[in-house]
Structure 1
């Protein structure tokens, strides 16, 4: 029996295609990275960050890193899927079926979709992962960054996904956004 605690790999994927509103993804990445560097439990986490993500990058990164948590920040195409980049940096939609395929067989336990109107994808993804977090309306950079930072601050303290979600939402009360993030849990059959 090993005394080594389990290592959790977190894959952060950012996409902000040309011709879409600019997002402060660099600030979100900096703050998330800072959370784990300051954590007393930093040796229990591997953080991988990728920018300008294309669909094939998402699939390849999941295969390469075999993360337990995948965090996707950028823009969403509502019910159609999430926006990633094509080879020329322009927006392209990764549809919900492709998202389900990406997360269904690779050991991913939690997906955080930190993008406006990503609740539909979270609902669908929750069929194949234990937890899926989406956003139910349009949000600004400040709220997205505050939510992500709050979530990982609690998670890095070795709390579970549900506790991290609840406490991250509580950080948004003053902004009136505490009901904007939505947690979906897989229904066990």
Structure 2
């Protein structure tokens, strides 16, 4: 692929809602960006140059404003920028055309750009439409080890124990959480101190299995992979036949952690819109990594793999986070800025967990 060609990072068929909301977010309500967008998606399909667009908008004397809007729209795949190659006879190097997927969904993109509040109510893979009313599973007695645990075997005593909670209870918004678990396992194996890291995968966790994991495993890191939003996390149901999950708010999850003798050092929430209210967890854990907006599956998996690869090499929490975000940025993911570190003490972020 040529270096100057653009490859979309959004899988529209698999991440439709995320794609629509991301386009709406980056279209926004900026009047110059809107004017350029509306012109390109108006009548006709011929490529237009920056000069043509500026002339049509009456902004001949401020072409930099038009260029800024074009750059922003092209960066987020709302329009397509391509080499001129004789399309326009005004000496321009680049011309701009419609993106087929955006064109097909233009009305709904504009709708959510105009109304961000409505956009937040849309069900996505990692942020399903769930009621905010809390529901709780009834604890049941289990014999033996909690279902779904898979310890990592190593020759040394583990110095870093990671509990990976993999939950995907809503059939309306399925996630690739299994892929993320595999990516995390691969990332740890690539770390230079992998032998000192133990990974426990807890499948379909409920409130009860969360308590079991904290009481018996005493993890240093709790990683939640699943749905979130509105200061809630979506845990699994007790019964296999139930669909939709169990909503637990941040306060309840923090109280659960605080009610055990476990002393986690880090909580990682790979779920949409979990930064707001994340400081609630600082009463029980010194550091939290959460997502500032909707994150799609592919970006979540790539982030987790690099983060734990760095952490398993003895890298500090802050540097591991920065490295994971750099990998997302280098691969063209629009979600690179979403993972956010919230800490009780800034100095703790400069510590290594190994």
- Return 5+ residue gaps in structure 2 as ranges: 1-155, 347-354
- Return 5+ residue gaps in structure 1 as ranges: none
1:150 corresponds to which residue? Answer: 306
Cα displacement (A) at 1:37? 2.5
1:63 corresponds to which residue? Answer: 215
Cα displacement (A) at 1:73? 0.4
1:160 corresponds to which residue? Answer: 316
1:53 pairs with one of 192, 205, 218: 205
Q: What per-residue deviation string (whole Å, max 9, x for no partner) do you get for residues 30-60 of structure 1?
A: 1111122233312211110011111111121
| Equivalent residues of 1:69, 1:110 under 8 A apart | yes
Does 2:234 align with 1:83? yes
Does 2:102 align with 1:102? no
> Residues 55 and 121 (structure 1 numbering): CA distance in 2 closer, same or farther, change over 3 Å?
farther
Matches within 5 A, 1:1-150: 7-79=159-231, 81-88=232-239, 89-90=242-243, 91-104=245-258, 106-150=262-306
- For residues 220 and 300 of structure 2, the distance between their equivalents in structure 1, rounded to whole angstroms, comes to 21
TM-score, normalised relative to structure 1: 0.89
| Equivalent residues of 2:188, 2:194 under 8 A apart | yes
Cα displacement (A) at 1:102? 2.7
Secondary structure of 1:78 counterpart: coil
> Residues 28 and 115 (structure 1 numbering): CA distance in 2 closer, same or farther, change over 3 Å?
same
Instruction: Please tell me the root mean square deviation across aligned C-alpha atoms, in Å.
Output: 1.9
> Residues 130 and 20 (structure 1 numbering): CA distance in 2 closer, same or farther, change over 3 Å?
farther
2:352 corresponds to which residue? Answer: none
Larger Rg: 2
Larger fraction in strand: 1
Figure out how many residues of one structure are paired with residues of the other and give that number: 184
- For residues 157 and 318 of structure 2, the distance between their equivalents in structure 1, rounded to whole angstroms, comes to 20
2:339 corresponds to which residue? Answer: 181
- For residues 321 and 194 of structure 2, the distance between their equivalents in structure 1, rounded to whole angstroms, comes to 20
| Equivalent residues of 1:121, 1:134 under 8 A apart | no
> Residues 120 and 60 (structure 1 numbering): CA distance in 2 closer, same or farther, change over 3 Å?
farther
Secondary structure of 1:86 counterpart: coil
- For residues 46 and 6 of structure 1, the distance between their equivalents in structure 2, rounded to whole angstroms, comes to 6
Which segment is superposed worse, 28-37 or 118-127?
118-127
